[in-house]
Amino acid sequence: MSTEDPSILGRLDQLYADLARHAEYDLGFPGATDLPDMTAVSRFERVLLNNVGHPYAAGGSYRLHTKVVEHEVVQFVADLVDAPLDNRHGYVTTGSTESNLWALWQARRHLPGAAVFASTAAHYSVAKNAELLGMPLHLIPADDRGEIRYDLLRAAVAEHRRRRYGTGAIVVATIGTTMTEAVDDAALVDEALNLAGVDPGHRWIHADAALAGIPLALCDPLSRPGFTFADGVHSFAVSGHKFLATPFPCGIVVALADRHTGRGSITYTAAPDSTITGSRSGHAPLWLWYLLRYWGRPGLRGRAAAARELAGYTERQLRGIGWPAWRAQEHAFTVVFPRPPQPLLERWPLATDERGNAHVVCMPGKTRELVDRFVADLAHALTGAVSVPKTIAC
């Protein structure tokens, strides 16, 4: 059948029109929309690029891969988060769920029998991955903003240590929670483990920084919470399709090389089996490499600053119509507020939680005009509301 077949083109045109219409009301989920012209890399779309096997091993007969740029992507991110120059490893994943799975897998190989500790505000993939790996998971309450309770973490780890001495502790620090963009300070997590009596060699701190990792890494270290290798983390995960604007899901994971173990070399690939998936996209590293080179640190920093400015504007506009709004921390792109009336949610799809909160995420590419339309629609919807709810946190 020809690609000129009207049924094919008509179906695609309709799908594209539907997506374009939905994009006009897209404020509730974290995806940057300021993707630059990608003509320079579009020519690779007709080539199968498979980064099969170990990301740093180019051996084997298959040559159609982009591991050389994948390595540069990992190095760029590793530099941002202070991974030691002589002690770093990582690869480009399908997204932060895989990155978190790989990090927990490595942690389990390093600390067999250790339990996983994470906050109740951690991403749902943490619980799923712990189940897949057969690792016991302890959920620690978060405060009203979504940040882990360090005192309760210390108590839970200490109790676990008394019952199962020597098995170690694995902590997932969430660097930008899904709902509020709260940040678990890795330095305070590290201190909690010290107070719980966990030996440095029997701990693993993983930073799940899917959304906030790169923007925070570009801030003055004195103005932001700790989440880098300098703050005690052993592995770090960030998404590519959120702040970096790739039009498909992907992620980057980085870990200390001296804590990384694979499963030996595979004859077929002539490379160590060190990744979760065997065949891996060679296009994702290429797009990430291009975007990182295109923007560079100054461009990335400017995009983050503009997103934060828009978040502040959004918070002020919402409060201006009498609707409570807040941000979990000063660097957040996410503005949280009580769940709006249902008629508004039917037009503006927003994530909500069990506490009655909703949010918008002011990603790069979003505009004041979009925010103004949302606030105007909310103000109109409120004309039929009985009362304005109290804010849950401020």
CA dihedral for 205, 210, 212, 213, sign (positive or negative): positive
Q: According to the model, what pLDDT value does residue 394 have?
A: 42
Contacts of residue 43, Cβ cutoff 8 Å, sequence gap at least 6: none
SS (H, E, C) 61-127: CCCCCCHHHHHHHHHHHHHHCCCCCCCCEEEEECCHHHHHHHHHHHHHHHCCCCEEEEECCCCHHHH
What distances in angstroms separate CA 232 from CA 157, 223, 236, one per listed residue? 17, 17, 11
* Neighbour count for residue 116 (Cβ, 10 Å): 24
Q: Which domains does the chain have, with CATH numbers?
A: 6-37+297-384 (3.90.1150.10), 47-294 (3.40.640.10)
**Token duo for residue 220:** 């003055």
Contacts of residue 246, Cβ cutoff 8 Å, sequence gap at least 6: 35, 240, 284, 287, 288, 291
Tell which residue, 335, 343, 328, 340, has the closest CA to residue 371: 335
Q: Do 359 and 350 form a contact (C-beta atoms < 8 A)?
A: yes
Q: According to the model, what pLDDT value does residue 361 have?
A: 98
The label of the residue with tokens 């906050």 reads 119
Q: According to the model, what pLDDT value does residue 265 have?
A: 66
* Neighbour count for residue 294 (Cβ, 10 Å): 14
Alpha helices (runs of H) in 123-185, residue ranges in sequence order: 124-133, 150-163
Q: Do 218 and 300 form a contact (C-beta atoms < 8 A)?
A: yes
| Tens of pLDDT, residues 129-181 | 999 999 999 999 999 999 999 999 999 999 998 887 667 999 999 999 999 99
Which residues of the chain fall below pLDDT 70?
A: 1-3, 58-60, 165-166, 261-267, 269-270, 384-394
